[in-house]
A and B are shown apart, each in its own frame.
Chain A
Amino acid sequence: MWNYEKRLQYPVNIKTPNAKIAQFIMSQYGGPDGEIGASMRYLSQRFAMPNRMASAVLNDVGTEELAHLEMVSTIVHQLTRDLSMEEIEKSGFGPYYIDHGNGIWPQAAGGIPFNACEFQSKGDPVTDLFEDLAAEQKARATYDNILRVVRDIPEIADPIRFLRAREVVHFQRFGEALRSVQEQLDAKNFYAFNPSFDCPCEASCQKCGQQNQNR
């Protein structure tokens, strides 16, 4: 269950609309490495984690990503309100405007709609956590690409820098979650079995955990 807090995780106050930059940044809403994909990935994968720590990291990072997709869509909203028709046509924002006006819709910078194939949920913790580590780096790299475009516009660059920094923190936490999972596995062969499928109780259930230790 979730509760909504009527505030942004980090403030966004953009005064000057810019349709071209809005089209770049919307990729971090519904693009291949965007925040919707991140949140849906972690909140889906958390069911298959073999211990509480890994589940907690996925749960809490997945929740924070919801706050990030709100920040990114706020940036896009503030960049696209009060646009003149002339600017819409000149900036290349026309195709988006025809389909969505200045509503918020999840798509990549190149116009490809969001879909669940942007992420995986494999039911295998080592596989999923490696994907999560890569996902955080891909999002960090996308924010770096965005920052090269907006570095001289502080009102845009500032919240983007915050989001970039969170990717780095999440990468660190996923690394620690992966370590906690690998410590439960056979160090000579992490892939000998899938802890979530072959012995799902090992870590989370005291009774089953003891039985397995006695084996």
Chain B
Amino acid sequence: MMYRDQPENRMQLLQKINEVSFAVDDILLYLDTHPCCEDALAYYREQSEKRKKLMKEYAKCYGPLTIDDALESDGDTWKWMEQPFPWEKEGGCR
């Protein structure tokens, strides 16, 4: 995969996922209290599509962030367990 083992690319992709995911987290709260707002619905649709695409791309290149993408990457072993936790230092060093 083109991004594998390039930490700065991985972090960049993760940053994009963080941004788009926060947009989803925030607009979902807004929509809970404004369920008919067309602008908000359109924004949700757009951000949520972006998020799905980025999550799949990340899983393919680096391993799954969520269980629904657990088999996106190559290989025939269980990658979910091997993924670094978000509090680890780069390289798996704790």
Q: Does B92 lie at the interface of the complex (its beta carbon under 8 Å from any beta carbon of A)? A: yes
The interface residues of chain B lying within 8 Å CB-to-CB of A201 are 93-94
Interface contact B81-A56, CB-CB below 8 Å: yes
Inter-chain CA distance A46–B84, complex, in Å, is 12
Interface contact B21-A204, CB-CB below 8 Å: no
Q: Does A14 lie at the interface of the complex (its beta carbon under 8 Å from any beta carbon of B)? A: no
CB 8 Å contact bits of B55-94 with A (1 = contact, 0 = none): 0000000000010000000000000111111011001111
The interface residues of chain B lying within 8 Å CB-to-CB of A52 are 81-84
Most buried by A among B66, B82, B88, B92: B92
Interface contact A200-B94, CB-CB below 8 Å: yes
- A112-169: which have CB < 8 Å to B? none
- Which of A1, A53, A200, A205 is close to B81, meaning CB atoms less than 8 Å apart? A53
* Chain A residues touching B, range: 10 to 19
Q: Does A194 lie at the interface of the complex (its beta carbon under 8 Å from any beta carbon of B)? A: no
- Which of B80, B81, B88 is close to A204, meaning CB atoms less than 8 Å apart? B88
- A19-70: which have CB < 8 Å to B? 46-47, 52-53, 55-56, 59
The interface residues of chain A lying within 8 Å CB-to-CB of B81 are 52-53, 56
- B residues sitting closer than 8 Å to A (CB atoms) are 21, 66, 80-85, 87-88, 91-94
Q: Can you offer 28 A-B residue contacts whose CB atoms are under 8 A?
A: A1-B21, A3-B66, A46-B85, A47-B87, A52-B81, A52-B82, A52-B83, A53-B81, A55-B85, A56-B80, A56-B81, A59-B85, A200-B94, A201-B93, A201-B94, A204-B88, A204-B92, A204-B93, A204-B94, A205-B91, A205-B92, A205-B93, A205-B94, A206-B91, A206-B92, A207-B91, A207-B93, A208-B93
